[in-house]
Structure 1
Amino acid sequence: MQSTVSRTAATIPTAPAPAPANAAPVSGGLPSIHMRVFITWLAVYPSITIVQMLLGPSLENLSVPVRVLIITGLVVPVVVYALVPVLLKTRAALLRLRRP
């Protein structure tokens, strides 16, 4: 039984080692974690603010957890699938324009 386990363990591929936290982004790759946090915030804050302004009056009779559930249920997919990718592409385009 032990030999079977060791053979099985030897055939399982391992994930590549993660890059060090202070490593510079690869050309054409994702920006640093700090830039991604900023880009995500740049998408989240205005989205929550706009949805709260639009839906706030109609949701005021609901409890806070239900309001937050509805607002985040609308905002998170929009941010993840639409806004962050657009902001990342815009950043990449702006960086390409700056290069000689």
Structure 2
Amino acid sequence: MSTTHQPTPATARPVGPPTKHQLAVMIWVAVFPTLTVLNLALGDWLGTLTPVVRTFVLATIAVPIVIYGLMPQLHKLRVRLLSRA
């Protein structure tokens, strides 16, 4: 019979906030694919815009997707991965 100790909610230590490096990786993992998909989906239309307007449009669409959609999921994933360790 195995007696390995599995942490219970009472004994598990909470996972703290991400380090600067972890946060940088999480942001990159969220931002790069988002901008890639937006560029592929809107490329023809964006190509007609000036670089400043194109950047403004991309940022206006990408920032809410990253902040409200992807980052919460990445934080949950990070907690799950670190809780297992």
TM-score by length of 1: 0.67
Deviations 1:12-70 (A, max 9, x none): xxxxxxxxxxxxxx942211111001101110011001101100111211111111110
Q: Which of 50, 53, 69 matches 1:82?
A: 69
Q: Percent identity?
A: 34
Gapped regions of structure 2 (runs ≥ 5): 1-12
Task: Find the counterpart in structure 1 of residue 16 from structure 2.
Answer: 29
Which AA in structure 1 matches 2:49?
Answer: L
- Matched residues in 2 for 1:97 and 1:69: separation? 40
Gapped regions of structure 1 (runs ≥ 5): 1-25
Q: Could you tell me how far 1:97 is from its partner in structure 2?
A: 2.4
CA RMSD, aligned part only?
1.5
Question: Do the aligned residues in 1 keep the contact of 2:35 with 2:58 (CA within 8 Å)?
Answer: yes
User: How many correspondences in the alignment?
Assistant: 73
Report which of the two structures shows the higher radius of gyration computed on alpha carbons.
1
The answer to whether 1:43 aligns with 2:30 is: yes
